[in-house]
Structure 1
Amino acid sequence: MGVMGLSPALRVAVTVFSLASAAGASSCAPGVEGAPGVERLVPEVVATYPFDDTSFTQGLEREEAGTLLVGTGWEGESRLYRATLEGEELASVDLDPTWFGEGVTRHDDHIWQLTWQENIAVKRDAATLAEIDRASYPGEGWGICSTGTELIMSDGSAQLRRLDPDTFAELGRFDVTLEGTAQNGLNELECVGDDVYANVFLSTDIVRIDARPGDTAGTVTAVIDGAGLPNNARPDPNHVLNGIAHVPDTDRFLVTGKRWPDLYEVEFVPAG
């Protein structure tokens, strides 16, 4: 899709993404192609729930209690809120109106909320959502998830960062590749065991990434084609698939998109 069809904020992101690709870094265009040895999966809808269609969804996580954490973006609209699976909002806190909110994740008794270009991560009390600290980081913030022992963060490139879950100090980075080719556009993240699931920016693809430290770190092991999920959002090039949350103790996930009115509970099954 053309860059001019996007919001000013996303036009900047797409322009930067395009320039980085043109500069010579080995990269994939947004979206991914099938590759031998990589599982090809699709989401099979098990249930559909109502979702807030005003939420420009940047981060989605399901808590053990069954509630949802949703982080939203857009200047003047960015916030973090907690809701039931049925759509009842339980608590909400706004970001600074000049900031563009990004991914969120819960780690033990606190939550981290990213900002896009403000270089600030907000640390919040998980019970009250109140801010308790801040941390700074270089570059952009896109997606984030907790493995239980560390945080993993994306910045829109083909690289993921490992972070200390309490201080947000950077511990290291690893490159993500699909059959040896860099997979750019890594966006919203979900940590599940040794894997990280990542939405691919401006596409309907989700990639499953081996996140174990070692030689296999960053290898894409599956591509999930979400093109068949009904996008019932108001027509707008910004309203793409974004938001993935694992349902604890199951092999199911919750997925949605930016200003989508629906939240889908799905299983990832072989394509075809």
Structure 2
Amino acid sequence: MGHREALSTLTIAAALLSSCSADAGPEHLTAEVVERLPFDDTSFTQGLEVSEDGNIYVATGMEGESRLYTRTVDGTELTSVDLEPEFFGEGITRVDDTLWQLTWLDGTAIRRQANSLEEIGRATYDGEGWGLCAREDEVIFSDGTSELRRMDPDTLEERERFTVTMDGEPVEGLNELECVGDDVYANIFTSTDIVRIDAESGEVQALIDASGLPNNATADPNHVLNGIAHIPDTDEFYLTGKRWPDMYRVRFS
């Protein structure tokens, strides 16, 4: 075989390999537990976020029980505010020195000062509110369907919607969200699956199996995995669930 023929063969082989890789579908990853931490088993967790100082924001649901609070990693509660009793609290995200908090069926988002949790404004939106996460110059919003919304970070005004797909099919049940760079992580409602989504295309790049996390909550179909928070400057995350007594520091491998 001549040199030119060898190069040609290598080029064809590389092209075939690239084609196979593109058609291989999403990566399949597992949530590997690095550390188990105490959590509040009364919290019907709807949103989880790590603050700049390493403390954790927790948003909880249920009418008459919904609240937003901050805590240390080891479980010491620092600040807490109750939502009005008619609200069912949902996801949260931090934008600069403020925090947005959704409500489920009320079409109302509450804006708070990030340190004190004091309310400083409200916004409205159409349909249900489930999860939120912030990227540069936008907030991503979920409503339990296969669609995600791009929202203005200051007003929460909707800009556009895009559909999340895996192998060409819509992915329903997108719930709690976490934005990390060009990726959006979303847990699939009532399951132990998490998807890593390309924030521009909406395509699922990875399917993460978190079934290995022990669910030590009391037996109840509602007490499912719900709560994803990236730990800044690491490749690790915190995961927990609704009324779980534990929070897990994990890496996806």
TM-score by length of 2: 0.90
Matched residue SS, 1:52? coil
Q: Which amino acid aligns with 1:262?
A: D
**Aligned to 2:136, which of 137, 148, 151?**
148
- Once the 2 structures are TM-superposed, how far is the Cα of residue 64 of structure 1 from its aligned partner? 1.6
Matched residue SS, 1:75? coil
- Once the 2 structures are TM-superposed, how far is the Cα of residue 149 of structure 1 from its aligned partner? 1.9
Q: How many residue pairs were aligned?
A: 231
Give distance in 1, aligned partners of 2:86 and 2:52.
Answer: 32
Residue 177 of structure 1 pairs with residue 177 of structure 2: no
Extract structure 1 runs of 4+ deviating beyond 3 A.
none
Residue 131 of structure 1 pairs with residue 119 of structure 2: yes
Q: Which amino acid aligns with 1:242?
A: N
Answer yes or no: is the 8 Å Cα contact 1:107–1:148 preserved in 2.
Answer: no
Answer yes or no: is the 8 Å Cα contact 1:45–1:264 preserved in 2.
Answer: yes
Residue 49 of structure 1 pairs with residue 48 of structure 2: no
1:69 match: 57
The structure number with the bigger radius of gyration is 2
Q: Provide, for residues 123-161 of structure 1, a one-character-per-residue CA deviation record: whole Å limited to 9, x for no partner.
A: 001111011000000000000001132100000000000
Percent identity of paired positions between Structure 1 and Structure 2: 64
Give distance in 2, aligned partners of 1:154 and 1:243.
Answer: 14
Give distance in 2, aligned partners of 1:159 and 1:261.
Answer: 31
Matches within 5 A, 1:185-196: 185-196=173-184
Answer yes or no: is the 8 Å Cα contact 1:57–1:258 preserved in 2.
Answer: yes
**Aligned to 1:246, which of 222, 226, 230?**
230
Answer yes or no: is the 8 Å Cα contact 1:186–1:198 preserved in 2.
Answer: yes
For structure 1, the 5+ residue unaligned runs are 1-34
Matches within 5 A, 1:160-175: 160-175=148-163
- Once the 2 structures are TM-superposed, how far is the Cα of residue 37 of structure 1 from its aligned partner? 2.1
- Once the 2 structures are TM-superposed, how far is the Cα of residue 113 of structure 1 from its aligned partner? 0.3
Residue 222 of structure 1 pairs with residue 206 of structure 2: yes
Answer yes or no: is the 8 Å Cα contact 1:78–1:94 preserved in 2.
Answer: yes
Q: Which amino acid aligns with 2:138?
A: E
For structure 2, the 5+ residue unaligned runs are 1-22
Give distance in 1, aligned partners of 2:87 and 2:157.
Answer: 22
1:23 match: none
2:189 match: 201
Give distance in 2, aligned partners of 1:176 and 1:234.
Answer: 32
2:13 match: none
